[in-house]
Chains A and B, each alone.
Chain A
Amino acid sequence: DIQMTQSPSSLSASVGDRLTITCQASQDISHYLNWYQQKPGKAPKLLIYAASNLETGVPSRFSGRGSGTDFTFTISSLQPEDIATYYCQQYDILPITFGPGTTVDIK
């Protein structure tokens, strides 16, 4: 199975800050990488698919890049409503696997 790691596991930032989360796959997954946002008590929400494509309706402050084994997810200007846990997910090979998540809160 492909193992997904994320760093950091949690971070605190100020409103307006730029923040970046990294995700690493245990083997080459090309661009088959998605990012989800999950708020407490809610289902995950798709933000970025195929490494760098912004899902319809998602604010442009969210972005993703990378290919192969190394990926990044960026929020260009953190907003209070971005407080959540963010997960990466690979879909190159079954079983689909998720990263452990990065929890973002406001400093």
Chain B
Amino acid sequence: DTGVSQNPRHKITKRGQNVTFRCDPISEHNRLYWYRQTLGQGPEFLTYFQNEAQLEKSRLLSDRFSAERPKGSFSTLEIQRTEQGDSAMYLCASSGTGNSPLHFGNGTRLTVT
């Protein structure tokens, strides 16, 4: 069990640019989640995949955000035309079925200048 891996750890971008983050979940986990966390707040749910199917999307996920999980393995989160309000820590988590707990990566910290 190598844990959930997220890359890059940090990303600084200029407003208006597109960014893409990658998440590699624990290999046997079929559920994958993306969360966003800003300073002093708890993680906010963005989206959820079961295998390759995106089953839940938060209203927080505007049309500038898109997530994919091809072949039910790694996942990518893309933000188009970034805005300063997108600056946050983006966390990925994976879990098994049933009431299995979430296993989080250490996140990608995005700074939009």
Binding between chains A and B: no
Show the binding face of B for A, using Cβ within 8 Å. Answer: none
